[in-house]
Structure 1
Amino acid sequence: MQAVRVKCRDRQKYICYEGQLTFKSFLETVSRKFEIPILDLKVYDDLNTEVDEEAFEFLVKKPDLGVLEVRLGPDLEDSVSPTPRHSIASCSSSFLSSSAENEGDSDDTIILQPSPAQSNRADQTRLAQMIERILKDKPGGERIMNEYARTKSITDPRRRDLVKILVANMASEHGMSPSRRIKEEYAKGITALFPYLADPQGNLGYEQFYNPVDGSGFLAWRVKTLQKDASDGQKRTRNIQPLTGGPDAGDRSPFSEENQLTTETQCREAIALMKHTTDEAIIKEKMKQTFTHRQAMVHDPVKSSEIFTTFPRFLDIAGMIERDFSLMFGDDISAKFLEKWPTFYMQKVLKESRGLTQTADLQDLLHNAESTTEQLENGWNSEMSSILLMIHLMPPSPQGKNKRPGKLSARQAIDHLVKFIKTGTSVEGHLDSITESLQPYLLAVGTQKSAIHKYFVVIDKHAIPCKSPDSIASFDELFKAHFVFSASYNRDLANVYNFVQTTVYQIDAATTKVNPRVKEMRARMLH
């Protein structure tokens, strides 16, 4: 029998073996002895050099191997703690021939009471090991773990496989109606084993798999599918805690209340001055001073329809939406989309979109998003195409009682976000052609979709000029218009808008109810 000394954090143990010790069997033994997940384990020698499989087979044969140190990835390091049983014992060379299972039987052993933090970490470790064990025992489980180990993420097909495997195990172990605690434990175990799948903006991090507040999530949906397949699908009512974040969450106090007019007379005088003056500096100052008054109008069911009559300068001076949004949230939050979309999120969206099932529409958008203006033959420019790809990543949720019949395609939903008219077409004529109440959308005017020279935000049959013909800046204004005018999101674009709101702007992230698909995309892009 031979032995290798192994260190993990502040503990050392011997790994005893006979015959040939492979790298895989070494990691499995380390995982079992130190009670840590096998994923993300790395091995280092005495010189702090990482040891891979090839080097291990060479080093393990050396008589002066020394101590091999195993470390966990940075995200698992915080979720795994040593066992509360700490041993203080000396080891002699004769220990090589004894079983490593006898380690810690010294009279000097101290039993420590675990702290709440240690208990929580121990619980995470237990749940991570539970999920790992389930996946290892099921066909397809190893493929999921290998994909995560390689990419620090999992694709949509692998995520569906993961949910199916775990819910099948859940039903086998706990019946067809598992308790909330059981579903929550499985969700916790997923993000403990695969920390890069956790949602950084979520209160718990695992809500996309199971949200104990409202019972939503991939695991819950799969459980309901199995229940429906096994029975008549009787529905049960449940009390849902309302989540109230978003553009129609109610009246918001200004980020800064400085220089706000407080009396009705002062506001009427400022409004009258704005209607008749041509001095933009005065208009902008008076718009700032009447922000609180304007927000009160917006949230008044009777007066809200008069907002463009009372404040008509929204319609002829570009940039008014941006100024009100900044008064609401501050300049730092207001700048987030323009700062982060082109430098971070745009490439993330392209990467995730390449992993979707490729349709002709999706391929056209991907091609345009990766092309320069000179290379485009038709379709939207690269910036607008990258934004529209979000609709394919987070398509409309099914609507109505029967769900499926009410679902729109991503292509149909795009028309709710931006419409195109050629240069020379009357904007007023477009507004007159609107026959139904629509949520805010962009109207793009240009010679072709890739050559837009003017954008408008259309709301309540009014066209508000955007400050810039830039596609990213115009979408930024469209999003902000929902908050400035307290307009709810178009239900077919709600997933996209909720992603932008909670992930990019980080507005009401804890109080906005979002689809699990949004939480999943948030987790993928923020890791």
Structure 2
Amino acid sequence: MDLMKEKLLEWNFPQLVETFEEQGFDDESFPLLTEDSAKEIIPKLGIRLRFMKFHRAEFGMASAVTFEGDIFNLSEFDSVSTTSSRSLLSNATVTCVPETPSPIAASPSSLSPLSSQSISCESVSFTNMRSPSQSADTASTGSEHLLMFDVRQILDKDPHGLKLVKRIDKCKFLSKADKKTLVHILCAHLVTQYGNRPSYFVKEEMAREIIQAFPFLKDPQGITGYESFYCRGATRVPACGALEDRLCYLRRLNNMATTPFMTQPKKRPRHGDSSPMQSAAKQVCLSTAIDEPTVMIQWMKSNTCKDDSSKVKEFMEKTAMYRHQWIKEKGKQRSMADILDKFPRLLEPGMIEQDFKILYPDAEEKLYEKWNDMSEKLLTYIQKVVPTWKTHMQDEDFVLEDLTSEQRQNCAIYTLPTLFTGRRKFKGGRVSYSEAAAAFVDFQCENTGLDQYLKDINRDTRSQPYMLILGGSALAPQQVFVIFERHAFQQSSLVKALDVCFKTHFVFDLSYQEKCSGVWEFIESVVFELKGSVKSNTIREFRAYCSSHDSSD
């Protein structure tokens, strides 16, 4: 019963394993299950519908096939393996005509696996059994009829798609240009068959078949694996993905003459909503006076003696929970200036890292643990995705193979704004590579006056925090600083500056700068592995690339 258990676990129905075993099902009888039999075994309708969806997709819907009057019942396939019989049925397109004329066509659920029932067929062709060219009436029946698109066949019919398939099979990689071609061809097929507003079920099936045709595109950390192509919407959360974006664009072109396409700007959620401290924070009411933290905070504000550094560190550690609750107090918008006014000791070295460690103990050292290997993947990936990536760097004249380990790690940091750019909240859309890089790291010459530089920062045009490099080259900077609230904090290396700059966002509960938001979302989800929804398709594509190459290695 390995096949039966394997499929039930794969379809996420572990509770049904014992039920099927009690009913005497095995690997031979499991594929023969019909909807009538399933009603007795799975009484709950919702679970049964989801189960039958996977069962039909895996084992097909017909139980007996007649070729020119000769009946081949499933009972005659005893000597044939289950996989072989399933392959035969899944590859057959059968046009069925009832032996007794009737205005009602036989539905898949009315077919029985018993050998006494048979269906006469006028014609049989060995193409995909569930063709995407079926009528819109069939698609409108919802999840009761599982669509199946032959993505490779659709692409092969287009001259550009034919070249695309050969290129993808050879390189096992999907570039931005190739993904655009892929999505355009498949969306054109959807619009032809179902109009420019196909149901979510149709779009999900198309996205699922894309990663079935090209498994290396599957996001290993995604729920479905195909979120890069389509992710179903929910209440107040619109659908997203490359297929949905293309269909929205086609609808906008179609409606532009009558109804202008407008999107309402959405307020970015504040960081830390999924913080591991959130549940504990809810249990503490800030209106209740807590004498001990209040006394410690007042002592740290009043006492400026540097000899008490160990005591300051101790008090900052004990008040970290209170500070986190105060910053995220419901209904309050704490600015960085307000936070530093109440907790000025956060400006001392190591205090931001200590607060982050208390909030996220498992993620404290993630960057240092992973960046050496991650930098190599980024450098390999960007050469395939953006061949002209060196033109976006301050130093173009270098040979990647000649760089030291530290220089390669620094180089990988500079690739982030090129790979994961941000988007403007309102008009303008995606920002350019240069805008993203300038918002991420600022390069200044060695003789720049730091005090005057900090005074000249315009908070309206220069979002903080960010990294500042004074002197040296991009690959070997002379001085590295983290800038926030017009304060400069010198760091020992560029990797250290990246770590502190990221943790500052979470400790102060800051939103990412929109121009380089993609970079920080990448650091958050891929490097630090903090829980949260990934909205960027470029991040999902990079995770799929890493997963496919790790498995091939």
Q: TM-score range by the shorter chain?
A: 0.5 to 0.7
How far has the Cα of 1:169 moved from its partner? 0.6
| Equivalent position to 1:301, from 322, 327, 333 | 333
| Equivalent position to 1:480, from 495, 500, 503 | 503
What's 1:276 paired with? 304
What's 2:366 paired with? 336
How far has the Cα of 1:473 moved from its partner? 2.1
How far has the Cα of 1:282 moved from its partner? 2.1
How far has the Cα of 1:369 moved from its partner? 8.2
| Equivalent position to 1:314, from 320, 341, 346 | 346
What's 1:507 paired with? 530
What's 1:66 paired with? none
Match of 2:221, SS? coil
What's 1:349 paired with? 378
Q: What RMSD in Å do the two structures reach over aligned CA positions?
A: 4.0
Q: Which moved more, 1:365-374 or 1:287-296?
A: 365-374
Deviations 1:301-325 (A, max 9, x none): 25753322333333332x2222111
Pairing 1:393–2:419 present? yes
What's 1:42 paired with? none
For residues 504 and 128 of structure 1, what CA distance do their matches in structure 2 show?
A: 36
Compute the TM-score of the two structures, normalised by the length of structure 1. 0.67
Letter in 2 for 1:384: N
Match of 1:492, SS? helix
Letter in 2 for 1:471: L
Letter in 1 for 2:355: D
Deviations 1:46-81 (A, max 9, x none): xxxxxxxxxxxxxxxxxxxxxxxxxxxxxxxx9985
Q: Please tell me whether the aligned partners of residues 394 and 496 of structure 1 are also in contact (alpha carbons under 8 angstroms).
A: yes
How far has the Cα of 1:475 moved from its partner? 0.5
| Equivalent position to 1:166, from 171, 175, 186 | 186
Q: Structure 2: any 5+ residue segments left out of the alignment? A: 5-54, 64-73, 81-87, 90-112, 118-142, 549-553
What's 2:21 paired with? none
Residues 87 and 367 of structure 1: CA distance in aligned 2, closer, same or farther (over 3 Å): farther
What's 1:216 paired with? 240
Deviations 1:370-401 (A, max 9, x none): 265689xxxx9433321121211122335533
Instruction: Count matched residues.
Output: 413
Q: How does 1:354-433 map to 2 (within 5 A)?
A: 354-355=383-384, 356-358=386-388, 361-362=391-392, 368=398, 370=400, 381-397=407-423, 399-401=425-427, 403=428, 407-423=430-446, 425-433=448-456
Letter in 2 for 1:327: I
How much identity, in percent, do the aligned residues show? 24
Considering Cα pairs closer than 8 Å and 6+ residues apart, tell me whether 1 or 2 has the greater RCO: 1
Deviations 1:249-271 (A, max 9, x none): 387627999xx999543223323
Q: Which moved more, 1:151-160 or 1:128-137?
A: 128-137
For residues 79 and 152 of structure 1, what CA distance do their matches in structure 2 show?
A: 30
Residues 239 and 228 of structure 1: CA distance in aligned 2, closer, same or farther (over 3 Å): closer
What's 2:547 paired with? 526
Q: Please tell me whether the aligned partners of residues 395 and 473 of structure 2 are also in contact (alpha carbons under 8 angstroms).
A: no
Letter in 1 for 2:351: M
What's 1:456 paired with? 481
Deviations 1:419-460 (A, max 9, x none): 234456443222111122422101223444444354332112
Letter in 2 for 1:525: C
Residues 444 and 364 of structure 1: CA distance in aligned 2, closer, same or farther (over 3 Å): closer
For residues 148 and 110 of structure 1, what CA distance do their matches in structure 2 show?
A: 48
Q: Structure 1: any 5+ residue segments left out of the alignment? A: 1-8, 11-77, 93-99, 102-106, 112-122
What's 1:495 paired with? 518
How far has the Cα of 1:218 moved from its partner? 1.2
Pairing 1:226–2:258 present? no
How far has the Cα of 1:486 moved from its partner? 0.7
For residues 456 and 163 of structure 1, what CA distance do their matches in structure 2 show?
A: 42
What's 1:186 paired with? 206
